[in-house]
Amino acid sequence: MNNYSIKPFYFFLIISFLGFCGCDKKLLIKDDSHPHYSIGFSQCTSGDLWRQIMNREMAREASLFPEITLTIKDGQQNNQKQIADIQQLIEQRVDLLIVSPNEAAPITPVVEQAHRSGIPVVLIDRKISSAAYTAYIGGDNVAIGREAGNHIQRLLKGKGKILEIWGLKGSSPAVERHKGFAEIIESSLGIKIIDGGDGQWLSEVSEQLAEQAFAKHSDIDLVYAHNDVMAFGAKKVAQRKGIEKQIRFIGIDALPTEDGGIQMVLDGVLDATLLYPTGGEVAIQTAMKILKNEPFDREITLETVLVDTTNARVLKLQTDQILNQQDKIEAQQEILDQQLLKYETQQERFIITLVGFGVVLIVVFFIVRAYWLIKKINIELAEKNEAINQQKEELSLQRDQLVEMHQKVKEVNDLKIQFFTNISHEFRTPLTLILGTLDQLKQSNKGNGGSHKKMRLMQRNAERLLRLINQLMDFRKLDEGKMLLKACKHDIVSFIEDICQAFDVMAELKQIALTFNYQNEKIDVWFEDEKIDKVIFNLLSNAFKFTPEGGCIAVTVRCTMNTDIETQTQEFVEIAVRDNGIGIPKDKLQKIFEPFYEVEHEGRNRYRGTGIGLALSKGLVELHHGEISVENCEDGGSCFIVQLPLGNSHLSAAEMTEDEIINLFHPQVSGPQTIVASENPNKLNAVSKTNATTEKDAPLLLVIDDNPDIIEFIKSCFEGVYRIAEAADGKAGYAQAISHMPDLIISDVMMPEMDGIEFCEKIKGDLRTSHIPVILLTAKSSEENVMEGFETGADYYITKPFSEKLLQVRVRNLLQSRAKLKEYFSQNLEFYSDDKSIQSIDKKFIDRVIETIDNNLHNSELNVDSLGKELGLTRVHLYRKIKNLTGHTPSEFIRLVKLKKATEIMRNTELSVAEIAFKVGFETPSYFTKCFREHYKQTPSEYISQKM
């Protein structure tokens, strides 16, 4: 709706004249009681029809907000034109900017400029290359591409050749529609994309591409275009060549107009199209929420639906009805605008006619009358808007019903996975106690063969349980798309051979012949060792599980060539694990890689497992852009085949690393120590009884964990070596840290009252305790959890279960590192420049201490009490802090700073020893000489003479 303003004097004259003449016409008056907003819309969308619908929706929605002034600029699918338009809107200082980018990368800088200047930016239909925007509205193009791929799979019944006509390749819709489509098509072995190109969203360009493709390929079964206009262009070429009946045509947009995608489906021009909503109305509604500081969604995804002959007519009837209603509203709005324009052109005549009228007394009457007229108009418009909104809600409900069942299935599956994930985390703490205690028992029972054998049996089963837990964690991460690939170049032959050797003992026990064969002695492959190790380990474990005693298992590594549909060849390494066991029923082969699927063998319940091992293996192989398959052997048993591409052209830069391979066949334990806090801080005043034989000057460890068994296990690891205090949660542990100033803290993460993360933040943020090393123990092993621990300032992070030796080594290394740091500081009065074990708060503290001493250099009465008062610390806490950081008492530290300052004066001045002594705050030159000789092993005079 346009904005109008009438000068007050003329306004009164008009009202008076209307009342005088008995006029009963409606007058729309601009409401100045609300703030007015200017919104600029820079659009560069493809297709005149799509652009017209977008502009029409925005203008219509904006008309419902009288306070909006909407400026629309058409970039004409030209990056430079759109950049200039946006720059002009920025200079005009619009209140909000709506942008539909032509291409992501070229438009990103000018949008970022608008965002930095404080102008909210709403992106519609397409995104830019950064996150510098306020909100985004558009369809889920990846989901649209997937839906198209799924429909094509059904349409072609799993076999066919496709011509894909892209939109503008630099635009995000084209990239995302191809991505989703390619994900589905690549999973179908019988369907291939044999040709394609950039159609630039235009029919004429699409016709050129189709002309070339049809001439090059005579066996195209289907054309998939990124919009309906390009699909129609390809259809026209097929009609000219007389091959339109043998090719199917799929487009995207499903515009509801007479020449739009829905009508094309009804007319048989297209076989199907996918709805891509314009979102103009949502853009204006979101803009108003932003301008009025109301809550809004930053990412608004508009739903899609497949339109084919089964539902096209219903959708067309619904959209026609809505469009008719909208046309009526716009017609009424146009009548109002014309009426207002007519009134404006008559203003001059009103002035001449009504100059002589005394309107003072009747102004009030007609103002009230005008108010009721406006109110009546607004009520009518509100009623019509309510009708339109009701129709929108009905359409939205229909869309919601299409996805409701899929969402419910996904929610149930997610709940199941989350439940097992949480249970798996809880298993890690008891596994820590089981494996740690077994290590201790094995060390103490080396001479007892029978006990040692039983302990090895317990340890193998505990480690098997840990592998199952790790499998579940990996499967959850893969299912959520959070697992990343970090591949580096390794020799796959020696790698697989090492894995096979790990099964030699099992092969000997089960009397199974395990052989390893290879084509070349060395084959370099880009892979992530830990992930491929899990794949091969799982395949071998299954082979041993299903192969009877006296059977055989063969592992073969060789190079092979595959030829794709475009007659391009790619070289792979093929890893085959073959056994002569019970095999897999033929009707179960296709389902064996599905999550939680288990093959049931009659009378063989002992083979039941978790059902995720092969699903995880498949996901890990596909993460490497490879394939895994299974087949039954003619002589019995089965053969699993893993194919990994050679070279690194299939990998992105983010998927490659230069890290060296690690030995995966030793226990992989990573984790820090834990602080254990008692519920009653007073109980911690006494050191644990296990320290009865420990030297009173031995380092003090504070162990915090809400599990008493974990505390006892950690105490047993350090018995007789360190003094140990304990606490049951972070709150009690913090009180003990302040009271006892331990040399090192070992803390669990998940605890009541105060967890380990919050505890570590408090310790590292408190000047009194920030120097104390902290090791965090946790059952959460994901990269995000580890990073969270380190971000709080933790010195080390250990995941459960962990080995006793690892914990002992980490504690010893941290304490030794602090001891070396103190020794270095005592000689240089500064920390290593690159030492990361010292918190920034501690470095600032020492710098402040030295600065305070420098500022009081002449003061011979500077002592511990006055220094503590300057720094805001008690005498006790100042003593503990400086002693822990430097190894010196505060008095010694003051003296050392003064002596170092004295050496600087000696090097740069000609003052006498006595003058220097008084300058640096010593009471007598003789005491200065004594202290100087004790520290530097020479007198001040000798030091000065060396300088000369």
Distance CA 590, CA 601 (A): 16
pLDDT for the residue numbered 840: 63
pLDDT for the residue numbered 947: 66
Q: Examine the pLDDT at 10 and tell me if it is beyond 70.
A: no
903 in Cβ contact with 897 (< 8 Å): no
Question: Mean of the pLDDT values across residues 687-701?
Answer: 62
Longest Cα separation, the chain: 124
167 in Cβ contact with 101 (< 8 Å): no
pLDDT for the residue numbered 678: 32
Q: Examine the pLDDT at 856 and tell me if it is beyond 70.
A: yes
State the Cα torsion 642-598-616-412 to the nearest 10°. 150
Residues 110-132 pLDDT 10s? 999 999 999 999 999 888 889 99
pLDDT for the residue numbered 688: 44
Question: Pairing state of beta strands 552-563 and 569-579?
Answer: antiparallel
pLDDT for the residue numbered 878: 77
Kindly report the average pLDDT of the chain as a whole number: 79
pLDDT-wise least confident of 316-325, 395-404, 596-605, 663-672: 663-672
Q: Examine the pLDDT at 671 and tell me if it is beyond 50.
A: no
Helix (H/G/I), strand (E/B), else coil: 738? helix
pLDDT-wise least confident of 392-406, 450-464, 654-668: 654-668
User: How is the chain split among helix, strand and coil, in percent rounded to 5?
Assistant: 55, 15, 30
Beta strands in 694-765 (DSSP E): 700-704, 723-727, 744-748
Helix (H/G/I), strand (E/B), else coil: 224? strand
303 in Cβ contact with 399 (< 8 Å): yes
Residues 413-437 pLDDT 10s? 677 666 766 666 666 667 666 776 7
Distance CA 128, CA 109 (A): 9
pLDDT for the residue numbered 853: 81
Which residue is it, tokens 């199974």? 512
Q: How many residues does the chain have?
A: 948
pLDDT for the residue numbered 691: 46
* 487 secondary structure, DSSP code: B
Question: Mean of the pLDDT values across residues 234-239?
Answer: 94
3-state SS string over 513-542?
EEEEEECCCCCEEEECHHHHHHHHHHHHHH
Q: Of 854, 930, 947, whose CA–CA distance to 898 is shortest? A: 854
Q: Examine the pLDDT at 793 and tell me if it is beyond 80.
A: no
Question: Mean of the pLDDT values across residues 691-711?
Answer: 78
Q: Of 469, 471, 451, whose CA–CA distance to 459 is shortest? A: 451
Q: Examine the pLDDT at 191 and tell me if it is beyond 70.
A: yes
Distance CA 349, CA 356 (A): 13
Beta strands in 277-388 (DSSP E): 299-302, 306-307
pLDDT for the residue numbered 66: 82
Question: Mean of the pLDDT values across residues 47-61?
Answer: 77
* 122 secondary structure, DSSP code: E
- Give the residue with greater pLDDT, 663 vs 405: 405
Question: Mean of the pLDDT values across residues 9-38?
Answer: 46
Distance CA 172, CA 101 (A): 9
Which residue is it, tokens 């291409």? 103
Q: Which amino acid is at 716?
A: S
Phi, psi values for residue 749, rounded to 5°: -95, -50
Q: Of 504, 593, 599, whose CA–CA distance to 553 is shortest? A: 504
Q: Examine the pLDDT at 847 and tell me if it is beyond 70.
A: yes
What string of DSSP letters covers 808-863? HHHHHHHHHHHHHHHHHHHHHSS--TT--SS-HHHHHHHHHHHHHHHHTTT-TT--
Q: Of 602, 496, 583, 475, whose CA–CA distance to 540 is shortest? A: 496
507 in Cβ contact with 583 (< 8 Å): no
Question: Mean of the pLDDT values across residues 153-160?
Answer: 90
Distance CA 416, CA 410 (A): 10
Question: Mean of the pLDDT values across residues 230-239?
Answer: 94
pLDDT for the residue numbered 683: 36
Distance CA 420, CA 336 (A): 64
% pLDDT > 70, the chain: 78
Q: Of 352, 264, 309, whose CA–CA distance to 13 is shortest? A: 352
Question: Mean of the pLDDT values across residues 296-317?
Answer: 87
Distance CA 294, CA 292 (A): 5
Residues 67-105 pLDDT 10s? 888 999 988 888 899 999 999 999 999 999 999 998 888
Full-model pTM: 0.41
pLDDT for the residue numbered 687: 42
pLDDT for the residue numbered 83: 94
pLDDT for the residue numbered 286: 94
Distance CA 356, CA 359 (A): 9
pLDDT for the residue numbered 448: 61
